[in-house]
Structure formats: C-alpha cells, structure tokens
Amino acid sequence: MRVKAVVFDLWETLIDWNHEANQRMHARLRERLGFDFHERWNLARERYTAPVRDVLSRVGVPGDALDDVLAIRAEFVGGCLVPREGAVETLRTLRERGHKVGLITVCTEDVEILWPDTEFAGLFDAEVFSNSVGLAKPDPQIYLHCCELLGVEPSDAVFVGDGANDELEGARRVGMEAILIHRPGEDPFWPEVREWDGPRVTSIPQVLEVLERC
C-alpha cells in the first residue's frame, strides 16, 4: 500500500486530556453558575456540532454568565492544546516525505477558535472540526470530507486515533487503514479497541515506523 495521506485524531492522540484540569474547570463553573454544568453539558448532543455559545444557552447558562463561562472553558482548552512529545516533528516529517497530513476532531468550537494560536497551526493540509462541518465521527461523511480536502482516495489514507467514537472502525468502513494509539504501559482506554487487530503505537513518532512497513 502506498500511503498518500495520514489523518490524525486530536484528543488523546496528538494532545492529552487533562483530567485534573477538567475537574477544576467544572468546579469553577459550578461556583459561577450554581448548578452542575458538567451534567447538563454531557446531555447536550449538539455540543460538538453547534456553536458553543448556542449550546451554553440551551443548557441553561444565563446571558450575563456566557462570557465568563466561555473564558473559563477557553482557559482549560488552551491548556490542553499542547502537542504530545514528538507530535510536531512527526507532522513535519510526514510532509517532508511527501505525505498529505489531515486532522479530524470531534470537538467543541473552543478548539477551532484557539487553534491558530497553537503549535499545530500551519502543520496540516486539511483540518476538519466537527463543530464546523456539523458532523461527528464515525459518520462516514466526515472521513470522506477530509479525504476530499486532501485530494486522496480513502484507500490511500491512514487514520490514527485512540479509538473514541468508534473512529477506527469508522475509518475502515470508508476504506481507510487505521492505527490505534494508546499510552505506553497501559491498555487502550476504550474497551472496544483493546483487542484491536490492526497496527498500534504508543507514541506519535512510531507512526513513521508503521508507515515504513506499509
């Protein structure tokens, strides 16, 4: 197989999810709002496919608190948008070797707003944020859309992710190959991919090694 493009997930793939910072954020939101924001937010299915301000209003955040809530969320998200070790170098190496590089992330609008100020800005040939396209993994159209932006057929592309949202099988269903990434010394977080039968890596630079074997 001649791999023309490599498409990455974001959370728990290129960046870490900071559980402690997440807990602190929700404690601040509870103090500001007087209710359990986390519970209401998790019930809002459209949180990854609609403008964040609209979703906040729908879950009961009053108008006079919207800016405060957005600022608290932005502080948390901005703190997470830090590349894992070797991620930036790997993305650059892939492009130097002639591969197109893509991103597909199920995320809130906060991520896209902050994206231009991160180390990732300018490193991708195509970026697909679920909130912008109104689609989330494993919808086939989100993979096909990214491949179209990259100018490649799905069969010429590889997807790398931690397995959330059925993303690996979703990639396979449209004809892409898929690589599982999980933390070294640990089982994959998502039970459904613990018996993954495809390639797996424990760091982003290892993706280069897998591609050399393709």
Domain boundaries, the chain: 5-16+82-213, 19-80
Please state, in angstroms and rounded to a whole number, the distance separating the CA atoms of residues 212 and 214: 6
Edge-to-edge strands of the sheet including 177-181?
Answer: 126-129, 100-105, 5-8, 157-161, 177-181, 200-201
Model pLDDT, residue 214: 75
Structure-token match 């590349």, residue found? 83
Instruction: State the 10-residue block means of pLDDT for the chain, 214 residues long.
Output: 92 96 97 96 94 95 97 97 98 98 97 97 98 96 98 98 97 98 95 96 98 86
CB 158 within 8 A of CB 6: yes
Model pLDDT, residue 2: 84
Please write down the HEC assignment for all residues of 96-135. HCCCEEEEEECCCHHHHHHHHHCCCCCCCCEEEEHHHHCC
Model pLDDT, residue 1: 60
Which tokens sit at 127?
């970026």
56-to-37, 67, 69, 108, 120 alpha-carbon distances in Å: 9, 10, 8, 11, 27
The domain defined by 5-16+82-213 carries CATH number 3.40.50.1000: yes
Strand partners, 181: 201
